[in-house]
A and B are shown apart, each in its own frame.
Chain A
Amino acid sequence: MTAKRPFRFPAYAKSYLMLAPFFILFGVFSLGPLLSGIAISFTKWNGISQPTFVGLSNYMTVINSPRFGKAFSNLLVYVAVTVPVGIALAFCIALVVNRLKGPVSHLFRSAYFLPTVIPLFLTAVIWRWLLTPDFGLINMGITFLRLPQPNWLGDPTFMIPALVMADAWRATGFNMVIFLAGMKNIPNEYYEAATIDGANGLAKIRFIMVPALGPVFLLVIVNAVISALQIFDLPWLMTNSSFSSYGGPLQGMLFPVMDVMGRGFGGRRFGEAAAIATILFVLILSVTIAQLALRRRWRVF
């Protein structure tokens, strides 16, 4: 017969105790909602009564609605323009800042990063105001150059370009900082070797810097695509949207997250809203998975 030992918690019990607050909040406010969001997309729910299961009917309703097509075609155009434009700009600016030396480079870097710390809602309302016809700053400049004035936020042709401008203004500093960090991690010897081989500045960028920054480009592009897919604040506020009316004239600035908000909190059709969110989630997940696959291939090289 063995003697009864008093019960003792294992040493790692303390660890679980310390981890508990994080994982409780994470489960209740992040992971749980992600899973239940998918569940809500299969139900009819007005936010008050109990949700009832309706199968795939939300997806059918949503996909067949013209607004869904408009939101996703806008999104496609926006992503296709803003990602290459924004990243090319950020890369060029990082190149320039990387060249400058001393306190001047510090000053430039600080100024370039400034728009990133301005709250996004302010960027949106300020740009709406900068883009107003006649007395907005941008059209005053255009008038000064004696060019015709575009009606940026009224004419659907110009709405996505306006959005791309506002986003480039805001996001370039952010991507620049990441490129700069990547550039500083490239060993100096690479450039010295290239100099001995007689490479000029452009050749060094083309044959040393760009290949060495491959993984950084991948990360910046993926981050840009994922955040572009979720764009909300800028178009919502630039078109002065509300839950009942959003997207601007001819829905030229209608995007999926805006439709999630409108259908959910405007129309109290939370099932449809969750269906759009789930479609968006599948898109984002596939981008993430593609990124992981690409990164694995990169390691082989």
Chain B
Amino acid sequence: MDTQSLTRSRLSPMGNPPKLISVRQISFTGLIAWGFALVWLVVTTLPIWWIFNIVFSQGGSAAALSPHLYPTSLSSGFLHLQQALSQASFLQAYLVSSGYACLQVSGMLLIVSMAAYEFTFYEFPGKHTLFLIALSGLMMPFAVTLIPLYRVVTALGWTNSLQGLAVPGMASAFALFVLRQFMEGIPIELLDAARIDGASHFAVYWRIVLPLSRNALLTVSILSFIAAWGNYIWPLVITTKPEWYTISVTTAQFFGFQSYTTIEIVMASALLAALPPLIVYIFLQRYIIDGITLAGLKG
């Protein structure tokens, strides 16, 4: 698979948009395809719609027991959202998760882009071996490193802290792979021109390469943000005090004790927990799809 040309054309601002191949014919199979498409549309959206439906309905368990297919009360929906937000533990978890995701994304961006810059534009002894070692991270199963990682992080005294949550995820082999693919498309003449103007090694990276890699940086940031926001297993292990629980751990607990609060408020919490990735998806969908495509077609 020609991933390089794919990345360049879809991620670069200069490339052409990809052409759609159409094998179109109006026929019986076409009708089946349409039917199938509509059924799957219902399957994918109904559970999410259902949550909306419950949040934006009158209280009590009525929504769950006598179902209707559309929301009935806007005002009680906002009330439920407000009630969800007024739970101190939920707001705290929202803050912790935001801090965790932002710290992980910004740290990742800095260290990975520096490494990608060196691997793309410079020659140095051991380059090939180092790159292979870094790429081995693509197939390193997290479940396997969990116990020893816990050992390292507790030894550093980082349990119940933002750095304990965020730092282990920063050296992302996936982000390195995407950024390097992208940087290969930057014309070397631009770097040479900057050097002639007296730019240092670091200045070329900071003033030329980073700004030109904006799209790729955005792609890896979005994917890393979504991953950090949704991560459950690592926060479950590394946070022991309730004030350090992330949104994943806290929301899972809300669903755990079913008598703790009403289903409307639990669902309102779920909706709020899904909000940041949903907003990112709605506005920056193209970058997510590009990143996933590249990840899927790697190699």
Q: Which residues of A contact B (CB under 8 A)?
A: 12, 14-16, 18-19, 21-23, 25-26, 28-34, 36-37, 40, 47, 92-93, 95-101, 105, 108, 110-122, 124-130, 135, 137, 140, 169, 172-175, 177-178, 181-186, 188, 191, 201-202, 204, 215-216, 219-220, 223, 226, 229-230, 232-233, 237, 240, 256-257, 260-261, 264-265, 270, 273-274, 277-278, 280-281, 284, 288, 295
Contact = CB atoms under 8 A, between A and B. Distances in A.
Contact of A29 (B61, B112, B167, B270): B167
A128 B40 CA distance: 20
A219 B171 contact: no
Chain A interface main SS type:
helix
Contact of A277 (B22, B24, B119, B146): B146
Interface of B: 1-2, 6, 18-25, 27, 29-30, 33-34, 36-37, 40-41, 43-48, 50-51, 61, 64-65, 67, 110-112, 114-115, 117-119, 122-125, 130, 133-134, 136-137, 139-152, 154, 167-171, 173, 176, 201-202, 205, 226, 229-230, 232-233, 236-237, 248, 251-252, 255-256, 270, 273-274, 277-278, 280-281, 285, 288-289, 292-293, 296-299
A128 B263 CA distance: 13
B281 A117 contact: yes
Contact of B111 (A25, A100, A116, A182): A25
B144 to A, nearest CB: 4
Given A26-B171, A98-B21, A280 B144 contact: yes
Contacts of A121: 230, 232, 248, 251-252
A122 B152 contact: no
A201 B23 contact: yes
Contacts of B61: 135
Nearest to A205: B23
A133 B271 CA distance: 23
B270 A34 contact: no
A273 B134 CA distance: 26
Chain B interface main SS type:
helix
Contacts of B237: 261, 265
Nearest to A36: B148
B252 A237 contact: yes
Nearest to B256: A240
B6 A185 contact: yes
A274 to B, nearest CB: 5
Nearest to A129: B255
Contacts, number: 285
Given A21-B111, A108-B41, A122 B251 contact: yes
A111 B273 contact: no
B255 A125 contact: yes
A274 B151 CA distance: 12
B297 A40 contact: no
Given A122-B251, A169-B47, A216-B297, A274 B147 contact: yes
A206 B97 CA distance: 47
Nearest to A34: B145
B1 A216 contact: yes
A18 B205 contact: yes
A21 to B, nearest CB: 4
A202 B25 CA distance: 12
A12 B45 CA distance: 53
A12 B122 contact: yes
A174 to B, nearest CB: 6
B248 A260 contact: no
